[in-house]
Structure 1
Amino acid sequence: MVKKYGEKYHAIIDAAIKVIAENGYHHAQVTKIAREAQVADGTIYLYFKNKEDLLISLFRLKMTRFVEKVKQKVDLVHSVEEKLHQLIYMHFKQLAMDPHLAIVTQIELRQSNRNFRKEIGSTLKLYHLLIEDLIRFGIEEGKFHDDVDIRLMRQMIFGTLDETATSWVMKDMKYDLLALVEPVFSLLMNGLKRK
């Protein structure tokens, strides 16, 4: 199996996202993915063991990039308020800019088997650590309660962002996800803020 991350690899990943979003994971045949990527069926198996490996790989690649982009923007600002705002904004913006990826990450991944969910957990952990760092920074800055349970608060922040995005996808993306940045920011900031 070839593990080169060249044009064909990325074409297959992008094709898989589109085909899975349009057909669902269980109906996303390798033949359809190959056709969309404009490669032979067998080419997919040069890069991926099977369809599950392809789904895991696409999640790792896209989630790693997702976290990198969020981190870059969060690192550019200085106060914890700005950092939290950027985190929310970038989370929603990246999903709004790629509706197919939003469908795959918010709906299709949740229908996968337990082993698969375990595989993607390590990639998702990068994002969890970023959120935990933001919470610690807020505590050190004296803006957040110092007795806050960091792990629980991270679950609350991630859960709020995740559920908001999932609801948007489930409602066929009929409204502007970015319009929810301010209300979500106010909700989370008020819950974290030291009175």
Structure 2
Amino acid sequence: MRLGVTGGIGSGKSTFAAMLHRCGAALVDADQLARATTESGGSAIDAIREQFGEGFINASGAMDRDRMRALAFSEPQARERLQAIIHPLVGLAIVQAQQQAEAAGHRVVALDIPLLTESPRWPRQLDAVLVVDCREETQIERVRLRSGLDEAAVRAIMATQSSRATRRAAADWVVFNEGLGLPELLAVARQISASLGL
């Protein structure tokens, strides 16, 4: 079973996906795979250099994340150009990771996909979708504490993501991660894992 796990920034989706992994699901992290493509020697570096120029590659040969983030949020077309480079590479890496998990005998593959509801391709490739949800104010507070970004920067990121309503409408399960400690969240992960036969 291919289970897509998604949620807005700061929702706790990666924490929950890791808990599903602890319960026996294979875990494929789309963000991690995307980062690998833009690290030194990554498969996206040559195309990024060609599209955006040498100034977007840092001294170590990786993509300059801060500079690219600033450009992507100020120019939506730049973000689309970057996504056109990275998304096909990540898609291929996800398929390979799924195949490895299935070959290893995993019954459930949890795919941690931040922009699941933003892309029309995912519904065709998943058997079910789990959305980790929380209030927008909670998202902002968590990201500020975690990343040191100010509220305006967090809201700018949130504006590029699907709305809470859009994500919830796509969900087979919604985990409302509001006021839950890690033990309570793990208990929910165990319940869902058990329902999936893990």
- Higher Rg: 1
Structure holding more helix per residue = 1
Structure holding more strand per residue = 2
- TM-score normalised by length of structure 2: 0.34
- TM-score normalised by length of structure 1: 0.35
